[in-house]
Chain A
């Protein structure tokens, strides 16, 4: 009995020592790593990147016409009609940002909030950056039915939709960053009675930095549950972009299959099929203002 007691005591005596050693190791150099992504979005999807405290950003996005046919006549789709979005982002703290936007698609107004719970650190800190993101959309279209026809927006709630994401990202080495995001989308109004109002999706984003100021971004998003009685009409959305960073600007040109910029609509309702070559050009420009 005495022996056991002595052994326990000995063990207990060692435990704090080993813990203390671990702590010393962790405290030695847990440093925040350089930013994982150039911008707050890869193309359409939010990244874990924050703007930073008291920074305001203005973004303008265009998506042009399809490149599938008549490329010369439409000048690579640039004749349009273009899908356009204007956005304002603001960093409240280094880990919290909000934003508002207006999309040409469905005349949507939206607001979002993004909060970083963990930031990846080198030297024993968090291995990933973890953020939560939520956005609410209001369709501001007038009654689309002919006069006297049924008004689908008679109830204001029918104009609303939402998206929520958990963003998990990690930078591997100096140049490559990868992000996965389980995604929930809810549309208050869908077309058919048997369509689902709730959609569960997975998005993936990646960035490869060619130089400190130039890199490639890619993203992909697909719904995983059965949500439409006409699934042949809808396709996953994907984009590849070239980023060019200049001081307060991030400029990006991309090829994407979705004319829709708002991910709450592009993830479930993109009609263009990448496999058919139904892609288009587009650009994002963001300008930062330090307030």
Chain B
């Protein structure tokens, strides 16, 4: 009886060990395409470079008038955090870039935002557009 009991215990335990045999190294951040956390998105490191590349440079405009969101732009200057934050708080960035997607416009030579960048921008806006 004792032997049977011991074997049952051992068997259960081996099963638990067998289940435990897989050793992997994942992170939620890498697995989840909608992952959003203040520790992983930063205005300085993530958002400003996107603006620099696709929004802030007058030479991106191929429509002839050179009007983009560069410093001193007659429409909107997104070279400073405060200006851009103002547009975010007014809902403009969410509407034009994320919802309707008509910014940057088709006549801009700057690359449009890819899905990961749009997710990053959305995450940063959802976090309250922090100056981080």
Q: Give A residues with C-beta under 8 Å from B.
A: 54, 90, 92, 98, 100, 109-111, 113, 136-138, 149-150, 152, 155-158, 160, 162, 186, 188-193, 195, 197-198, 229-230, 291
Contact = CB atoms under 8 A, between A and B. Distances in A.
Question: 7 nearest interchain CB pairs?
Answer: A136-B20, A111-B16, A197-B25, A150-B32, A157-B22, A193-B29, A157-B24
A100 B10 CA distance: 11
B100 interface: no
Contacts of A149: 34
B33 interface: yes
Nearest to A233: B39
A90 B20 CA distance: 20
A129 to B, nearest CB: 23
Given A54-B2, A100-B13, A190 B20 contact: no
> Chain B, interface size: which category?
20 to 34
A158 B39 contact: no
Contacts of A137: 20
Contacts of B107: none
B16 A150 contact: no
A209 to B, nearest CB: 31
A291 B24 CA distance: 39
Given A113-B17, A155-B26, 9 more contacts: A92-B9, A92-B10, A152-B28, A157-B24, A158-B24, A188-B22, A188-B23, A189-B28, A190-B28
A191 B27 contact: yes
A191 B39 CA distance: 11
A192 B20 contact: no
Contacts of A188: 22-26
A291 B5 CA distance: 10
A50 to B, nearest CB: 15
B23 A193 contact: no
Contacts of B40: 192-193, 229
Interface in B5-23: 5-6, 9-10, 12-13, 16-17, 19-20, 22-23
Given A136-B17, A230-B39, A192 B33 contact: no
Nearest to A90: B9
A229 B22 contact: no
A51 B25 CA distance: 34
A90 B34 CA distance: 45
A269 B24 CA distance: 19
B27 A193 contact: yes
16 contacts: A110-B16, A111-B17, A113-B17, A136-B19, A150-B32, A150-B34, A152-B32, A158-B26, A186-B23, A188-B22, A188-B25, A189-B31, A190-B26, A190-B27, A197-B27, A229-B40
